[in-house]
Structure 1
Amino acid sequence: MTDAFETILFDEPRPHVARITLNRPAQMNAYSFRMTQELLAAIAAFRDDDGLRALVITGAGERAFCTGGDISGADAEHSRKVRSSPMGHGREMRDGMQAVVLALRRLDKPSVAMIRGFAVAGGLALALACDLRIAGASARLGDTSNKVGLLPDEGGAWLFPRAMGLDRALKMTLLHEIYPASVAKDLGLVTEVVGDPVLEAHTLDLCEQLAAKAPLAVRLTKMMMAKAMETPLESSLADAQMAVMISNPSQDVREGVAAFREKRPPRFEGR
């Protein structure tokens, strides 16, 4: 599959761990429409492969994770097609980065954004669409969309307030603020900050740990918690009742209990 991609890389750096790398370092990994389509294909490949249990998304080079949409005008033909239709801009967004954000949010396996350099505008939305965000100490995060009259339209208007509160999200976007990684962590935009030299090893170690957990339990837990953010307690408890009818009779639970009793590491197979 990797051979078919022009703007991203797709590999498996650790057992059961997939990695998608935005690969336009000269453009600070700003996304093009082609990149969004390749991201969707790679996310679907990860989603449908039961042998892959955790996903890392990162950017090539040291300068940026992703700086949002590419507004350089490099793809003049695509821009012309967008402008030629009254619905062009909305359709491009719907079928492009918005679809990527939805695909990540709908995953029932954990995803981790590994952030070097800048993650701004749509790049910040992409990072927030992942379950966890590990940033290098020199990373910078914020929203610059309003700076050129654009909007937080990739999902930022929904994701930013949920991560940091409405007032802080408005301040960040309206004043197009960019924060050091340590401040971004305090604001809720980042899960963890680590030293730049250990960022990759730390993130892959984390994903390897996630991949070693019981796959059914991980997937069901993620689904339950994500849905619970938008539903009342009673509905969440009902979802839990349905989920345990899948998980409790599973081979994974039998293996986990046996490993506990035998004082050995469990060997989960996801069934």
Structure 2
Amino acid sequence: MKYEEIIYEKKQQSAWIYLNRPKEMNSLSKKLITELLEVLKEIEQNDEIRLVVLSGKGKAFCAGADLKELLEDLDKGPNGQKSLLDCAEELFTKLNDLSKPLIVALNGVTVAGGLEIAMTADVVVASDKVKIGDGHANFGVLPGGGGAVRLPREIGINRAKYLLLTGDILPAEVWKDYGFVHDVVSAEELEEAVQKIAVKISAKSPLVLKEIKRLVTDGLDQSLDTALRQELLALKNHTQSHDFREGLGAFSDKREPEFKGY
């Protein structure tokens, strides 16, 4: 399929998706969201792809929802069509449930819905030119994609409250200090640095990657005892897989493993 508001490329075992509305700061339109959902569905069904990288074109990663479209939806009122907020809800559900590792490569301004997208990632890498913040309060808008709920879990309740209430937009280096951004690199090195991480992760067992994501996510909402039991049960089940035996066999034979994902 030909996409108009995203760019989709395959690099080895990684799928790279770029938000491509640079004049609109890659704000989330219904069309962009629809295209993004379609390509994510395709990627989930492709066993050759083991990891997803999401980035943007132009000066922004994503400046949040397209406020013009949002206002148009409000003016139209209920008309039986999906609103921008309905589409956004579907997108965040998909990103949260993505079984494959997700790296977000922040190339530029990341605010509001852009930050909320970044918070669905497993790894965040940013250009040294990037500024990040929630910013909803600056426009009299509430977060709707996890901003108020996930940000305290990511950077701590006091920092999160301050940023949510003030709407401050801070450099990526500060967010690295907060533990949210894994690394900050020059704009020229961003894609190369991210691809190195992608190659490293993609070499691992797809089964292990999927289960690690699930165990970490589920464990945050469980008691410690329950989470530990679930982790041990997952390991016991995993010992019956090809990848488990392949990994141990490769270690014993002193060779690189060839994981199959089953």
Same fold (TM > 0.5): yes
Match of 1:190 in 2: 181
**Contact 1:147–1:176 (Cα < 8 Å) also in 2:** yes
TM-score by length of 2: 0.93
Match of 1:11 in 2: 9
**Contact 2:16–2:54 (Cα < 8 Å) also in 1:** yes
Q: Which residue, out of 79, 95, 99, partners 1:108?
A: 99
Q: Distance in 1 between matches of 2:224 and 2:37?
A: 33
SS at match of 1:129: coil
After superposition, residues 251-270 of structure 1 pair within 5 angstroms as 251-270=242-261
Alignment length (residue pairs): 262
SS at match of 2:119: helix
Bigger Cα displacement from structure 2, 158-167 vs 238-247 = 238-247
> Displacement, 1:83?
2.9
Identity of aligned residues (%): 33
1:32 aligns with 2:29: yes
> Displacement, 1:56?
0.2
Residue identity matched to 1:31: L
**Contact 1:112–1:130 (Cα < 8 Å) also in 2:** yes
Q: Which residue, out of 196, 200, 203, partners 1:205?
A: 196
Q: Distance in 2 between matches of 1:99 and 1:155?
A: 13
Structure 1: 4+ residue segments shifted above 4 A: 86-91
Flag structure 2 segments of 5+ consecutive residues without an equivalent. Answer: none
Residue identity matched to 1:234: D
Q: Distance in 2 between matches of 1:49 and 1:90?
A: 28
Q: Which residue, out of 151, 168, 172, partners 1:181?
A: 172
Residue identity matched to 1:85: G
Flag structure 1 segments of 5+ consecutive residues without an equivalent. Answer: none
SS at match of 1:40: helix
Bigger Cα displacement from structure 2, 15-24 vs 243-252 = 243-252
Q: Distance in 1 between matches of 2:113 and 2:81?
A: 15
Match of 1:214 in 2: 205
**Contact 1:98–1:155 (Cα < 8 Å) also in 2:** no
SS at match of 1:112: strand
> Displacement, 1:57?
0.3
**Contact 2:29–2:84 (Cα < 8 Å) also in 1:** no
Residue identity matched to 2:192: A
Cα 1:211–1:107, aligned 2, differ >3 Å: closer, same or farther? Answer: same
TM-score by length of 1: 0.90
Q: Which residue, out of 66, 77, 92, partners 1:85?
A: 77
